[in-house]
Amino acid sequence: MTTRILHNPRCSKSREALALLESQGHTIEVVDYLKTPLTLAELQALQQLLAVPVRDMLRSNEEEFLTLNLAAAERSDADLLAALAAHPRLLQRPIVLNKERAVIARPPELALSIL
């Protein structure tokens, strides 16, 4: 399996992670998740690979986070995943996937931890 990066080309951390992986000689499949959003099922599988709470997958500084009141404690994982599916900008970035492992590469050097 090729290493994949869920990438936002406008994000400096995402660009840094991609450059780091490429500089190490890895073949990278770049997935612009804003142009090709992940489905709910893909997000559920991603959360399992990341092995983090769904809240850790969210960007809390995005406008949608506030307008959808996603900080509310009563919001279930299902609610949060549905919000991610409907509003891909909320997804933390970059996320690097390799085989059966994934990591939110913040800082970008964390991407190397799963190679």
**Alpha carbon distance 115, 103 (integer Å):** 10
- Which ranges of the chain have pLDDT less than 50? none
**Exposed/middle/buried for residue 61 (C-beta within 10 Å: 0-12, 13-18, 19+):** exposed
| pLDDT given for residue 2 in this prediction | 82
**Residues found in the chain:** 115
**Alpha carbon distance 37, 85 (integer Å):** 7
pTM listed for this prediction: 0.93
**Alpha carbon distance 27, 10 (integer Å):** 21
Name residue 96's beta-bridge partners: 5, 103
| pLDDT given for residue 1 in this prediction | 59
What does the domain layout of the chain look like in residue ranges?
A: 1-33+93-115
Q: Which residues are catalytic?
A: 11
CATH number for region 1-33+93-115: 3.40.30.10
